[in-house]
Chain A
Amino acid sequence: MKKWFTKVAMAVAVTLTAVFAAFLVGCQNKNKNEFVIGVSGPLTGPAAVYGLAVKNSAQMAVDEINEAGGLGGYKFKFVAVDDKHDASTVSTNYATLVKEGMQVSLGCVTTKPGLEFKSLSKEDNVFFMTPSATADNIPEFANGYQMCFADTKQGTYSANYVNDNVTTSNNKIGVLYRAGDDYSQGIYNNFKNQLAPKFTLVEASFTDDNPTDLSSQVELLKDCEFIFLPIYYTPASVFMLQAKDKVSADCVYFGCDGLDGIESSEGFDINSIPQEVSYLSHFNSNATEGAAKTYIDKYVAKYGKDTLNQFGASAYDCVYAIYNAMKAAYDKDNSKVTPNTSASDMCEVLKTEFQGGFSYSGVTGTNITWDRDGYVNKAAVKYVVKAKSN
């Protein structure tokens, strides 16, 4: 009796699975009439401000593209799923996006989930360009691209910025980094390699993640007029407080994305620091001209100021860069770029474009190009958090 029951149950299960699978395949094969772009990001939780900025901005870009007629008569559809900045949700999210018919992706908004997404998308060869997952190994595989600066590449761009824009009377450039920390040490190494020989680099370092005594470092750096701080904002604020009366008030502090948020860190009054505090960015949320200004006006009118940040600006550019590349490919051969092109074929088409002299100008930079590894090449902007006090 029992055996008989098991056999029937098995047969039913197998049949059901087969039917269900056929149904799924049928779903995927049905003719689509729109291009689908997907992203996974934190739409709820503590990091939601970043995910929402990306979602809003990408949707805004897609709406604009659709209003202008889409591509080859087809519209675009944008799908955002919530990963709560939790890497364990990414595989489910990825499956959801694939089911929605995702052909191209913005990857993940934040790094940890992004590393998961990177591996999943490699299997299916899905092209992604992340607006804001900055880890160096996000574009590890051929299908991954970044619109933001990769973590340690910020050292190279900062050095380029310094070489082109900074002059100091004693030709000294100071740097304070955290020795042994992948992020800080990586940026520092790249910065050192790229800095023009006319500058003398004055180095100081610490090892604790939360240093309390930076008096020796202040002593080393006190004659510098420009100090590069590739560290997070907590140690940076400790340094600034200990250095504020010892370093010249004309000195410029320049950091990387680790300083993002220093002005709003609780209890730290940035206005008590007389020196200028700034960091490398690709977007100035106080811009008063150019493409950035146009973007800010549109975004604020639609979604308000709360979620206006560089994540959104970058996502806006991602969508347009992907659209422009698709359009360029479409103009060459319109059979290769249709809503029914598979994600893998679309990936090959886009890779050919991005590696074939494609350049893009938008909110976060002009004449942006991508190198063979998927890293972005564009000029950095100095974003001034707090100007020098008088």
Chain B
Amino acid sequence: MSFIVTFLNGLSLGGVYALIALGYTMVYGIAKMLNFAHGDIIMVGGYVLFVFISLTGQPILAIIIAAFLCSLLGISMEKAAYKPLRGASPLAVLITAIGVSYFLQSLAQIIFGAAPKFVIIADLGVITFGELVIPVYSVITLAISILIMIALSLFIKFTKTGRAMIAVSEDKAAAQIMGINVNTIITVTFLIGSFLAAVASVFYLLKAPNISPTFGSKPGIKAFTAAVIGGIGSIPGAMLGGFLLGIVEVFSNSVPAIAPYTDAIEFLILIVILLVRPTGILGKKRREKV
């Protein structure tokens, strides 16, 4: 019985990781850069929720505002920090991303202080099926993240913008020749990624209502690991990696003897998978031309 609940909790945590991992993987696939400030957008989303729930007491309104502001932040981050570096070496872009991450963390610390803030979005309680006691947030998190993933897959497959995104990720130069505005596509990618991060921040706060300036770094690193496990650049890969990591984390935590080594186990899986399949589980093999 406990197994089912644990499995569900794992899926729900995995769903959140998958949402964040999608942001990493899409930006990597399309802009060919690792946006290490992605985790901090979750943190910003958390503080926006904190401010607006404290001010208005309306969780739904606060969630909409958070989603809007995070998307806006994602776009402006891209415009201000990454666009000027479009032609620069990947290393310069990477360092810039780390810089943006520190900037956001320090800004949050200046505004809100280092001590954690508490914000309760909603008290959802539990549902009971006989012996099963399942937290409602687990179910909601899982359901909504699956819905979002389906919607995203449909969007990419069947809309013009979505197909343009695939084209840009396949071959940027060719896509440009075909008349696709690469800059717009990159902006849209950042918008979607940041929106997903905002959704993830809502799920995090439903579970654990405390938010601190470094709140985004751990989920960020975990989701990045998930994206790499699944194959960075691959959208189904990010989902698979996210769920895998979530389930491993929850099950590892539920065995007292190995619980202290949960992080180590997760990263060990990353190493093993990279040894066996260097491009990740669903990553495409690319033949380098010599």
Residues of A within 8 A of B (CB): 179-180, 202-208, 210-217, 219-220, 222, 234, 237-238, 241-242, 245-246, 265-269, 272
Given the complex of chains A and B, what is the CA–CA distance between A207 and B212 in angstroms?
A: 17
A-B residue pairs, 5 tightest by C-beta: A267-B118, A179-B260, A216-B253, A216-B254, A212-B208
In the complex, per-residue mask of B212-236: 1 if CB is within 8 Å of any chain A CB, else 0? 1011001100000000000000000
B78 lies within 8 A of chain A by Cβ: no
State which of A214, A217, A220, A234 has its C-beta within 8 Å of the C-beta of B116. Answer: A234
Contacts of B256 in A (CB 8 A): 202-205, 220
Given the complex of chains A and B, what is the CA–CA distance between A26 and B253 in angstroms?
A: 66
B117 lies within 8 A of chain A by Cβ: yes
Nearest opposing residue in chain A for B8, CB measure: A215
Contacts of B120 in A (CB 8 A): 267, 269
Whether B118 contacts A213 by the Cβ 8 Å rule is no
Whether B135 contacts A215 by the Cβ 8 Å rule is yes
In the complex, per-residue mask of B98-130: 1 if CB is within 8 Å of any chain A CB, else 0? 000000000000000001111110010110000
Contacts of B250 in A (CB 8 A): 213, 215-216
Whether A220 contacts B118 by the Cβ 8 Å rule is no
Whether B135 contacts A234 by the Cβ 8 Å rule is no
Given the complex of chains A and B, what is the CA–CA distance between A150 and B125 in angstroms?
A: 38
Contacts of A269 in B (CB 8 A): 120
Chain A's nearest CB lies how many Å from the CB of B125? 6
Given the complex of chains A and B, what is the CA–CA distance between A217 and B259 in angstroms?
A: 9
Whether A242 contacts B135 by the Cβ 8 Å rule is yes
Contacts of B118 in A (CB 8 A): 237, 265-268
State which of A217, A220, A245 has its C-beta within 8 Å of the C-beta of B125. Answer: A245
Contacts of B263 in A (CB 8 A): 207
B76 lies within 8 A of chain A by Cβ: no
Whether A245 contacts B208 by the Cβ 8 Å rule is no
Whether A219 contacts B210 by the Cβ 8 Å rule is no
Given the complex of chains A and B, what is the CA–CA distance between A233 and B226 in angstroms?
A: 30
Whether A207 contacts B2 by the Cβ 8 Å rule is no
Whether A217 contacts B126 by the Cβ 8 Å rule is no
Known contacts: A179-B259, A246-B135. The answer to whether A241 contacts B253 by CB under 8 A is no
Whether B208 contacts A266 by the Cβ 8 Å rule is no
Chain A's nearest CB lies how many Å from the CB of B268? 15
Whether A206 contacts B253 by the Cβ 8 Å rule is yes
Given the complex of chains A and B, what is the CA–CA distance between A142 and B260 in angstroms?
A: 36
Given the complex of chains A and B, what is the CA–CA distance between A214 and B210 in angstroms?
A: 13
Whether B13 contacts A213 by the Cβ 8 Å rule is yes
Q: A234-B116, A245-B126 are in contact. List 11 more A-B contacts (CB 8 A).
A: A204-B253, A207-B263, A213-B250, A215-B138, A216-B254, A242-B207, A245-B133, A246-B133, A267-B119, A267-B209, A272-B123
Whether A204 contacts B209 by the Cβ 8 Å rule is no
Contacts of B251 in A (CB 8 A): 216
Given the complex of chains A and B, what is the CA–CA distance between A243 and B75 in angstroms?
A: 38
Given the complex of chains A and B, what is the CA–CA distance between A211 and B256 in angstroms?
A: 16
Whether A245 contacts B210 by the Cβ 8 Å rule is no
Q: Supply 28 A–B pairs (Cβ within 8 Å), ascending by A.
A: A202-B256, A203-B256, A204-B256, A205-B256, A207-B262, A210-B215, A210-B218, A212-B207, A212-B215, A212-B218, A215-B135, A215-B207, A215-B250, A216-B253, A216-B254, A217-B254, A219-B6, A219-B9, A234-B210, A238-B208, A241-B208, A245-B133, A246-B135, A265-B118, A266-B118, A267-B117, A267-B120, A268-B118
Whether B5 contacts A219 by the Cβ 8 Å rule is yes
